[in-house]
Amino acid sequence: MTAVPFLSASFLGFATLAVALNAVLTGAARQAAFIAVNLLVLGFIFLGPIGLASTVVFALIGWAVIQSATRYPRLGLVVASAAFVVLFAWMRNYDFVGWLLPDTLRTSTFATIGLSFLLFKILHVAIEAKSGTLGPITLPQYLNYCLNFTTFTMGPIQRFQDYTAQWTGSKLAQPVSFESNLDAVNRILFGLVRVYVFGALLQPYMMTYDSGAETADFVPMLVQVYAFYFFLYFNFAGYCDIAIGVGSLLGVRPPENFDKPFLARNVSEFWQRQHRSLTHWLTDYVFNPTLKSLLSGALRNRRIVAVAAALSLTMVVSGLWHGTTAGFLLFGLMHGAYLVGYHLWDTFLISRFGRKRVSAWRKTPLAAAVGIFLTFNLTAFAFVFFQLGASKGLKLFANLIL
Amino acid sequence: MARSRGFFAVAAVATAAVVFAVVTALLLAVARWAERDFAAYPYLAGEDPIRVLLPTVQKANREDTLLLGPSSLGEALRYEDLQEAWGGRVIMGAISTATLDELRLALDYAITVYGADALPGRIVLGLDPRVVANIPRRFGASAERPAGYLIDLVNDYSAQLSVQSTSTSSVLQPKGPLASLLARARFYATKQQARIRAGVLAAVERFLDPDPVKLGWQDEMPHFQVNFRWLSDKRNASVLRQLAADRGVISAAVTWMRAYRSPYTSQFYKPIAEKDVRLMIESDWSDVLTWTPAADEAIVTEQLAWIDEFARRNGIELVVLYLPLHELIRAELPPDNVEWIRTATARYLPSARFVESWDSIESDAFVDNVHVTPRAARIVTGQLLASVPKGPRTRENDHE
């Protein structure tokens, strides 16, 4: 996980400054002040000068991609987006870049913090701009959306329409009252507690690359795997609380991103509870178009295969979005396999017993408990690749099974 | 609409800031009480020089004693035992990897900021060859300068003074109003958590066990593999679980809190293996073992003479404690250097009394290359008390 210094005096100071400027300024001055604060936070706290420069250049290239998508509707989006994703892969220095380029052409100079979120935000704007659903977009508005410091490093991925509607005041981030703003402050406090108390307490017990989980006995290994699961949850959900709290005070509240994922009864529900803004993005821009394309083409009469293929591709994209190594690819493949398995099982049950009976059975406490237990363990063990990488992750599973 | 929304947001942030300030002020009041009346020592494990900036820790009376030296002094002397024997307050002023220049600067800071009235009646100066040789620590931003760490802390956090330094000396000078304001803000914004933690734990400890100075409690502490203050470390968690099982939860909690707010850290570590001691000596003492006294004679003697003059001018009894040295270090120290240090300290600290603990502790009573176990601390404290049985001279308490 990225260590984002949300508890630092500088972050809290900049956030307070942003809230104060947002309160006293209007129109172009408000927009300009928010750009300035975003650049300051990114430059001083998150990225440093070189990182800030490369990120701004990346965002400006994204702006060009959006212009291409709107001006050349037939091929502009596809060609520009593909080139943009290639640029992203090169900047993030994915492992597979080494298969295609000599080492002299690879780079680790550029900032990679927040780049994945930035890529998905820009692609979202490009796709929606091409379809004409966004209306006119100004460069300052776009830059503030992309570089918004509250969601820059760890999301949630806010939709441009939602962000703009809140920024212009046509949609309220929260009720206009002292109490709701105090709730936002409490939300920040709650997030800080999740990150710096619960997360920090779990950190020593969780699996890390060097914690030896792959060779540990069953119980110590299990403790490490579970501890990492909850650490990840507290850390990430806590950061999202802070982003949502600060965003609410600024009048641009990001969407909720977590809903007790450890209580999910199946893997499909897990992704509706875990990193929800990513799930929605992947559903809209990877799963749905892929499924539609497959069902209108080669797999027209084979819906199950088409769904399985679309789910697998979606989860592979998810895995590669999360990280640059083979471990993240395996993480994605594993979740793809889970979702395909669940889909097949679900289809089988419904065809065999009927939707009503299956639905009634799933509501029983026993079925819920079994579902939660299985889902919790399946998803917890998928994070093994997330944290240990491919080689050690496979070793852990070999140690577990053999 | 936008203006009123912003107004409520600012009001909410301001309310949070006020609540935070009030709660922090209350907790700081507890911390100050614990530092002043209950010997709570914040800033540990590397940050201990910040204590120099705290009047509640640093300000003394004539019947008090200041223990001044490197962290090994802090671990080798049990201030509670000394306090019991000498009467006044015994202030632990050990500074991690301190150099002679750093100790001199600490005294200069104390008199400049707190005044001559706030000086103790006695200073126990802990010396070893590393201190005398002014070998700077090898980590941090100021790795190059002998008093680097303290200089940085004074420059960053002191409201009153800054330090002008060269590679060999450091001079205190008043801070301008803006620099003072920034330093104060920095200190209050970033350096109070450690005080509050120690203070609140001291208050809870006092509530559970009203005896503020429990002699010999160190002997009851178990061995920790890492800093026992890190509760979240699983190795510590298992030691504390065992402690709670052996003595009950309340007693274990009191023991841990007493240790937490105390100035001790290393003495509760599990002693490391000899091969690791050798590695530490190679890393931390190589510069000392190859040090040539003649090259630094001028600066070292000047610093010693400054300390002696400081003590005499302010009517402070000076006691020099030659700190215990690990057998492996003693074996490698050039005998001429040892002799040079003895001669120089005797010549340039003429008003001092000397207590010899240099070779008094066996290797198995060291936790690492310089810090000793609680058992050895009892021995060294006993040696000091044997040589200096009574508290500092005061008008009311004249030894004669």
Sort out which chain B residues have CB atoms less than 8 A from A169's CB and list them. 1-2, 5
Residue A206's SS3 state is: coil
- State the average pLDDT over residues B348-371: 94
pLDDT for residue B90 is more than 80: yes
**pTM confidence score:** 0.78
Find out whether B363 and B154 touch, Cβ atoms under 8 Å: no
CA distance A171 to A177: 15
- Tens of pLDDT, residue by residue over A307-331, are 999 999 999 999 999 999 999 999 9
B235 phi/psi in degrees, rounded to 5: -70, -40
Percent residues over pLDDT 90 in chain A: 83
Q: Which residue of B has its CA nearest to A30?
A: B2
DSSP state of B315: T
Q: How many CA atoms lie within 13 A of B164 on its CB side?
A: 5
Task: State the pLDDT at residue B213.
Answer: 72
- Tens of pLDDT, residue by residue over B255-307, are 999 999 999 989 999 899 999 999 999 988 888 899 899 888 888 999 999 99
**B2 — pLDDT class (breaks 50, 70, 90):** very low
Buried b (16+ CB within 10 A) or exposed e, A262-298: bebbbbbbbbebbbbbbbbbbbebbbeebbeebbeee
**Amino acid identity for residue A261 in this structure:** P
Interface of A with B in 222-251 (CB under 8 A): 249-251
CA distance A136 to A133: 9
> Torsion over CA of B24, B25, B26 and B28, rounded to 10 degrees?
80
pLDDT for residue B196 is more than 90: yes
ipTM above 0.85, yes or no: no
Sort out which chain B residues have CB atoms less than 8 A from A203's CB and list them. 232
Residues near A3 by Cβ (< 8 Å), separated by ≥ 6?
A: none
The token duo for B94 is 């050990």
CA distance B374 to B363: 14
Q: Do B6 and A200 lie within an 8 Å CB cutoff?
A: no
DSSP count for chain B of H helices, then E strands: 16, 7
Query: How many angstroms separate the CA of residue B233 from the nearest CA in chain A?
Result: 6
Interface of A with B in 192-221 (CB under 8 A): 200-201, 203-205
Q: Do A251 and B232 lie within an 8 Å CB cutoff?
A: no
- Tens of pLDDT, residue by residue over B370-396, are 999 999 999 999 999 999 999 998 766
Q: Do A16 and B13 lie within an 8 Å CB cutoff?
A: yes
Q: Do B9 and A251 lie within an 8 Å CB cutoff?
A: yes
- State the average pLDDT over residues A125-147: 94
CA distance B102 to B149: 8
Q: How many CA atoms lie within 13 A of A96 on its CB side?
A: 10
Task: State the pLDDT at residue A102.
Answer: 87
- Tens of pLDDT, residue by residue over B102-122, are 899 999 999 999 999 999 999
The token duo for B34 is 């614990």
Strand arrangement of the beta sheet that strand B317-322 belongs to: B90-95, B65-70, B122-127, B317-322, B353-356
Task: State the pLDDT at residue B211.
Answer: 79
pLDDT for residue B137 is more than 60: no
Find out whether A245 and A146 touch, Cβ atoms under 8 Å: no
- Tens of pLDDT, residue by residue over A255-299, are 999 999 999 999 999 999 999 999 999 999 999 999 999 999 888
Partner A contacted by B3 (CB < 8 A): yes
Which of these, B93, B95, B96, lies nearest to B120 by C-alpha position?
B93
> Torsion over CA of A178, A184, A187 and A189, rounded to 10 degrees?
-70
Task: State the pLDDT at residue B144.
Answer: 58
Task: State the pLDDT at residue A3.
Answer: 62
Q: How many contacts, defined by CB atoms under 8 Å, are there between A and B?
A: 64
Q: Closest partner residue to A9 among B11, B13, B189, by Cβ?
A: B189
**A402 — pLDDT class (breaks 50, 70, 90):** confident
Sort out which chain A residues have CB atoms less than 8 A from B8's CB and list them. 176-178, 180-181
Query: How many angstroms separate the CA of residue A247 from the nearest CA in chain B?
Result: 11
- Tens of pLDDT, residue by residue over A213-239, are 999 999 999 999 999 999 999 999 999
Query: How many angstroms separate the CA of residue A170 from the nearest CA in chain B?
Result: 10
Q: Do A22 and B1 lie within an 8 Å CB cutoff?
A: no
Evaluated on CA atoms A377, A379, A382, A388, the torsion sign reads: negative
Sort out which chain A residues have CB atoms less than 8 A from B17's CB and list them. 16
Task: State the pLDDT at residue B42.
Answer: 92
The token duo for B229 is 């203050």
Q: Does the N-terminal peptide bond of residue A136 adopt cis geometry, omega within 30 degrees of 0? A: no
Report the DSSP pairing between strands B170-174 and B317-322: unpaired
Q: Do B4 and A181 lie within an 8 Å CB cutoff?
A: no
Find out whether B171 and B148 touch, Cβ atoms under 8 Å: no
Q: Which residue of B has its CA nearest to A183?
A: B12
Which of these, A110, A27, A94, lies nearest to A321 by C-alpha position?
A94
Q: Which residue of A has its CA nearest to B189?
A: A9
Find out whether B328 and B363 touch, Cβ atoms under 8 Å: yes
Which of these, B270, B197, B247, B267, lies nearest to B27 by C-alpha position?
B197
